[in-house]
A and B are shown apart, each in its own frame.
Chain A
Amino acid sequence: MLRYTLKRFGVALLVALTVSVVAFTLLRLSGDPAAALAGEGATEEDIEYVRKHYGFDQPLLTQYSAWLVKALKGDFGVSVYLKTPVSEIIFERAPTTLILGLCALSFALILSIPLGVLAAMYPNTIIDRTALTIAVVGQALPSFFFALVLIIVFGVWLRMLPISGSGSWLNFIMPSVALGYYATPAIMRLTRAGMMDVLSSDYIRTARAKGLRPRVVLFKHALRNAIIPVVSLSAVQLGFMLGGSIVIETIFSLNGLGNLAWQSIQRSDFEVMQAIVLTVASFYIVLTFLADMLNAFLDPRIRVH
């Protein structure tokens, strides 16, 4: 188990490093950070000064190593626009995105797991078909369009929910639904498939034959086994949501990392952009790492592989 953990950890670290290199290169190559940092109205002289002072005239590799060393200490530079350290800004904005992601995932799980279980219990019936229809519709609905529809219906026509800002937990309801809906089909399908497999397995048949009540059989044994792949998938989906929240955050004016990324892109705020890409990638890497660990812990066969 330990060897496996270390191996996965090593890979995770390497992935994080590669992502940071790619993000760094992409951003440095497509603009002049010296000009951006020097601000408008800066003369050629000023820009040169900034270039030397911050080492932008050095080869990319040197710049990257310097950035990496500082990053490992937690220093991600200073935001050109907000004039405050990037790490501060990220710390401020990250919780909103994390809350949004977790709420969206919760919504997806609350909707899809019961649906998947029901569909598996009554395959090829109207219940099954309804569940599959919800899944198929969920995959086809653009999340930003869905968000707008929710705003019109629940924010203005019915006036039930607030539509912008992050003042209270109510503010997160619509964004979570709009963001989480997209993950529903995958989780539902997986739950359904997993349940069906397990329900028809020998183990369950034996338990039933032993005379255990159907409900007990179902929820204690089947669900526990079927849930394993769902946990992994949920972790991955959460990772995607944290990275893909930009559209939802801008529509609902939630001040999370996605919104910050959008603003930074528009302002050519390199340091912030880079830090956000790295932060979001790290979330994903950590989540998949944890999912792998959980899987390996629950299902010993994986470790041996």
Chain B
Amino acid sequence: MSTLRIGLAQLAPRLGDVAANVALHRDWIARALDQQVDLLVFPELGLTGYLLQDLNAEVAMPADDARLAELAAAAGQMSAVVGFVEEAADHRLFISAALLEGGQVAHVVRKAYLPNYGLFDEQRFFAAGDRVAAIDSRLGVRLGLSICEDFWHLPVPLLHALDGAQLLVNISSSPGRDVSATVEGGLGTAGSWQALLRTYAMLTGCHVVFVNRVGVEESITFWGGSEVLDPSGRTVLRAPLHEEGLFVAEMDRAEVRRQRVATPLLRDERPEMVARQLERLIRQRAGTAEEEPPE
């Protein structure tokens, strides 16, 4: 199977209403199965809504929660990514994504970068994940799964690509802002994300799947615009802004090989040099660096 059918579940979760959102996810899984989707991707915190504040602990669930298992069973042979609040054994709360495969929760990935500026207040309510690793999927591709703000930090796509990912999947609850006549498309946030997605596809030679929610919470309107890009940075499908819907794109897996043979950026990547420089910079930031001799 060289092509994969990717389903982008650009939906509007109900804030704080897990039961309603589980039902919503179940319906959309059934719709995606009807359309022979191989990988169905739901947005960040799709099972809970985004602006939870003190509801965070009330909607949290462990990775082995029966509701996740139920959705995994519903997905059957289809792979699915769902976003939820994960309560760890030590009761830390994470913004997490679960990869559901083969009727069970195959992997859980925790959001590593929590924004706490402007309209964001995530560090007040959540713990940050501390592992960035690619994961194997039954689809025969390795996935770099990340959550929203993770994509505003260069190490995440780099680490995923070095770890063997061929497909970068980012799930988001991105609030629309910066409405302006001078940015293409009229919405600054959308323009910034589109630039990021294209850049990461080109630099990593990966397919990129971005799923962003829609709907309104408090002052925020989430802008949608979910997207699939091929490893050359070309947009395969871009969902409309602000419209709820299940969008399906076909992804040709052979594109990764073609792109990486033609432009072997990943071959030329130098993790050992990067690691040395990072060690140096970490010492500098910590104030423990000794005077280093000039090279």
The answer to whether A binds B is no
Task: Identify the B interface with A (CB < 8 A).
Answer: none
Task: Identify the A interface with B (CB < 8 A).
Answer: none
